[in-house]
Chain A
Amino acid sequence: MREFFEMGGYGSYVWASLAVFLTVMAVELWSARAQQRRQLAQVRDRMRRSAARSRNTP
């Protein structure tokens, strides 16, 4: 097991590469999802404001 993690002395390079790959992919997907949530929240915000405006105008 220890031998596996050492990767013949290259462990730090190999595992760092894998970590960078997985982290960037996860962050990238998370930011895509966040963008979607943000856009929908903006639409709701605008709807609320326009509804409030039409209530206030006689």
Chain B
Amino acid sequence: MNTLTYWFHKLGSPPTFHRIATRVEPWCLALALALGAIGLYGGFVLAPRDYQQGDAYRIIFVHVPCAWMGLFAYAFMAVNAFIALVWRIKLNEVLAMASAPVGAAFTFVTLVTGSLWGKPMWGTWWTWDARLTSELFLLFLYFGVIGLHNAIEDRRQAARAASFLALVGVVNLPIVHFSVNWWNTLHQGSTVRLFGPSKIDASMLWPLLLMALATHIWFFASVLARARAGLIELDAGKDWVRKLAQDDAS
């Protein structure tokens, strides 16, 4: 076995992953908080007012990073669900199930802040157009995965069933992303583009990207915390968990 495969196998073992996650998690949290603080300061204080939307546009600095995270968390969950279904690796089942509540939280924030942005700009809290409806469907998919996972007694069977649902729901991701191009909608098109120039000034772009980075790191911190709990639940009878529980109590 070469070093990389060995390392991969080692990381996949619950006690090793738990140990590493415990060490990495606080650093992730601290980094996310620091970057988030700078990003919010840049967005809410330093960035200039928008010529069209005034100060209301500042909602972008929480709305857009959260929207990206809602999609990113789903993709992360789907990749882990795929690995869990094909290779039946315990760690990936746990990671897939750990990312569902975090993704749901981000999607919820996206919907609420979008609503708070829509009221002053569009004159309505909600409209049943493609972007908003597909985003709401994304939230329901997360709820479906979480609900299915909680509904089945056997934890591994539950994770596999929920993983299957997560994989089916992947069709919604391109629909959410491209909905602003495919249909007529109140929602504005993409501001930041991976390919081609972004339609936003640098003074507004850097806080936005910093917030995106902060929310990504926050996502991983939270997934690690939930994955640790998931591994403890799955391995409840194992020696490493018993030792951990004793150490935790003392």
Contact = CB atoms under 8 A, between A and B. Distances in A.
Interface of A: 4, 7-11, 13-14, 16-18, 20-21, 24-25, 27-29, 31-33, 35-36, 38-40, 42-44, 46-47
A51 B97 CA distance: 32
Interface of B: 29, 40, 44-45, 49, 54-56, 58-59, 62-63, 66, 101-102, 105, 108-109, 112-113, 116-117, 119-120, 218, 221-222, 225-226, 228-229, 232-233, 236, 241-242, 244-246, 248-249
A13 B119 contact: yes
A7 B58 contact: yes
6 contacts: A10-B55, A13-B56, A24-B109, A33-B225, A43-B236, A44-B249
B102 A28 contact: yes
A52 B228 CA distance: 28
Most B CB contacts (10 A, CB to CB) among A20, A21, A38, A46 go to: A21
Contacts of B119: 13
Most B CB contacts (10 A, CB to CB) among A32, A35, A38, A47 go to: A32
4 tightest Cβ-Cβ pairs between the two chains A and B: A7-B55, A32-B225, A10-B56, A43-B245
A42 B113 CA distance: 37
A8 B53 CA distance: 10
B59 A17 contact: yes
B62 A18 contact: yes
Contacts of A29: 29, 218, 221-222, 225
B222 A13 contact: no
Given A7-B58, A24-B108, A18 B40 contact: yes
Nearest to B232: A39
Given A43-B244, A44-B246, 12 more contacts: A8-B54, A9-B55, A13-B116, A13-B119, A14-B56, A17-B63, A17-B116, A17-B117, A21-B66, A33-B225, A42-B233, A44-B249
